[in-house]
Amino acid sequence: MMLNLARLLAVMIAGSASVGGLSPAEAETFEIAGKNGVILQATRVATFDEPWAMTFLPDGTMLVTTKPGKLFHVTQEGDKVEVDGMWEVAYGGQGGLGDVVLHPKFAQNNFVYISYAETLDNGSTFGAVVARAGFDRSGRKPKLSDVRTIWTQEPKLPGRAHYSHRIAFGPDGMLFITSGDRRKQRPAQDFAKALGKIIRLNDDGSVPDDNPWQDKGDLAKTYWSMGHRNLLGIDFDSQGRLWTHEMGPRHGDELNLIVNGDNYGWPVVSNGDNYSGVPIPDHDTRPEFAAPEVFWVPAISPAGFVIYDGDMFPDWRGDGFIGGLSSRALVRVDIEADSAKEAERFEWGKRIREVEQGPDGALWVLEDRSGARLLKLTPKN
Mean pLDDT for the stretch of residues 11-30:
58
Question: pLDDT tens for residues 49-98?
Answer: 999 999 999 999 999 999 999 999 999 999 999 999 999 999 999 999 99
Question: pLDDT tens for residues 171-204?
Answer: 999 999 999 999 999 999 999 999 999 999 999 9
* Range scoring the smallest mean pLDDT among 5-14, 28-37, 199-208: 5-14
Domains annotated for the chain, with CATH where assigned, are 46-297 (2.120.10.30)
Q: Is the model's pLDDT at 21 over the cut of 90? A: no
Closest CA to 374 of 21, 14, 73, 141: 73
The C-alpha atoms of residue 201 and residue 191 are separated, in whole angstroms, by 17
Which are the catalytic amino acids?
162
Torsion from C-alpha of 304, 310, 316, 318, nearest 10 degrees: 70
* Partners of 294 in the β-ladder: 255
pTM comes to 0.94
